[in-house]
Every structure is written in C-alpha cells, then in structure tokens.
C-alpha cells in the first residue's frame, strides 16, 4: 500500500472537516473510519455517521463503518462512569476507539492511522498521544494546531453539518 495512505479514526463529521482538509494539503491519502461505540444512543451515532458521510462526499474520501458495540464499550469503562469529563473514563474511551482503529489499520494493511479527536478544544492532545503511542503505526497529528478548530466551524457551517451538543456517551449528556 502507498505509504501516505492513512486510516483516520473519525469521531464525527465536524471534527473531520478541517482534519481531512489539512491531511489532503499535506499529501496524505485518508480513509475515514467510524467505529465510536462510545456514542449513545445508537440514533445519535447514526446522526453523526450521516454527517461524516457528507464530509466524505465533499472531499471524495472513502469511509468504513464498524459495528456499534456499546455494551463492549461500557465494559471497558466499568468503574469509571462517575469520572469527570476529561478524566480517566475519557482516557479509557480513547484507548477503546484507538484500539479498534489500530486493529482495522492492521487488518487492511494501512501503514499509518490517526484520530480526529485531537481537533476538539475540549480534548487534550497530549493525553490522546500518550494513549495512541501504545498502538503500532499511530501518527501524532494534532489537528487543533494551525487554527484547526476554528476552521472546522467554518467548514461545518458551509456543509450544513449536524453538530452534537454533548461529547458522546450517556455520562456526558447534560442533565437538563
């Protein structure tokens, strides 16, 4: 496989916009990968996937969707349910999603994989990189750099993308 091909764990459509735009300008050949068993309920995962498909169409990149396995994800964060956002539950969540992406990259023969999770202002890229380095072929691409987050707001508006109002799991849904 061409050594600029890269499997991109895509957390959602909005975060993928500026990430994909930047990768294409840097000569990467991205394939989007949507697993995200952390997202609850499944209807919300479907909505986010639809937004990702709109991004894939806009940039002409392929998408792979993995089966949603929320039960498996809940097992991975057992005992961490009450953690604050940004804490140990989120670290376990990153590990779950990056492990899935790493396995898929391995299975399909990608030399590299990365995640759009680093675009969000609400997620610490250093923590994501610390988790990512456990897996082979992980690329430390920090998409919030070079104005990535602000650029994603512009591009998401242009594409009329659905924007979620909570991070993803049931523990991150605002109570009122």
Q: Nearest 5 degrees, angle CA 157-CA 127-CA 15? A: 15
The values of phi and psi at residue 144, to 5°, are -80, -15
Taking the complex as a whole, the smallest distance from the CB of residue 2 to ligand SF4 amounts, in Å, to 32
The count of chain residues that interact with ligand SF4, using the rule CB under 6 A, is: 10
Residue number with CB closer to ligand SF4 (19 or 61): 19
Task: Pick the piece of the chain touching ligand SF4 (CB under 6 A) from 50-58, 61-69, 153-161, 162-170.
Answer: 162-170
| Interface stretch with ligand SF4, choices 23-31, 144-152, 153-161, 165-173 (CB under 6 A) | 165-173
CA-based nearest residue to 116, from 82, 156, 78, 81 = 156
| 9 closest CA partner among 28, 38, 36, 37 | 36
In this structure, are residues 13 and 161 in contact, taking their beta carbons and an 8 Å threshold?
A: yes
Nearer to ligand SF4, 28 or 68 (CB): 68
* 3-state DSSP of 8-34: EECCCHHHHHHHHHHHHHCCCEEEEEE
Q: Is 167 in the site for ligand SF4 (CB under 6 A)?
A: yes
30, β-bridge pairs:
6
Stretch 52-111 residues interacting with ligand SF4 (CB under 6 A): 85, 89-90, 93
**137 contacts 105 by C-beta, under 8 angstroms:** yes
Strand partners, 27: none
Q: Which is nearer to ligand SF4, 105 or 169 (CB)?
A: 169
Indicate the residue among 32 and 90 with the shorter CB distance to ligand SF4. Answer: 90
Task: Please give the residues from 101 up to 160 whose contact with ligand SF4 meets the rule CB under 6 A.
Answer: none
By rule CB under 6 A, what string of x and - marks binding of each residue 8-47 to ligand SF4?
A: ------------------------------x---------
Q: Which residues are near ligand SF4 by CB under 6 A?
A: 38, 85, 89-90, 93, 167-169, 171-172
């Amino acid at each position: 496989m061409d050594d600029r091909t890269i499997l991109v764990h895509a957390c959602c459509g909005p975060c993928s916009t500026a990430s994909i735009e930047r990768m294409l300008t840097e000569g990467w050949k991205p394939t989007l990968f949507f697993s995200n068993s952390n997202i609850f309920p499944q209807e919300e995962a479907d909505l986010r996937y639809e937004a990702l498909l709109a991004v894939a169409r806009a940039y002409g990149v392929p998408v792979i969707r993995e089966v949603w396995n929320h039960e498996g994800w809940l097992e991975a964060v057992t005992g961490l349910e009450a953690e604050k956002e940004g804490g140990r539950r989120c670290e376990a969540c990153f590990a779950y999603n990056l492990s899935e992406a790493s396995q898929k990259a391995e299975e399909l023969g990608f030399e590299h994989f990365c995640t759009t999770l680093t675009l969000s202002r609400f997620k610490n890229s250093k923590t994501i990189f610390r988790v990512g380095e456990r897996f082979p072929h992980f690329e430390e691409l920090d998409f919030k750099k070079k104005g990535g987050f602000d650029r994603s707001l512009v591009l998401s508006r242009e594409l009329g993308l659905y924007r979620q109002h909570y991070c993803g799991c049931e523990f991150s849904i605002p109570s009122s």
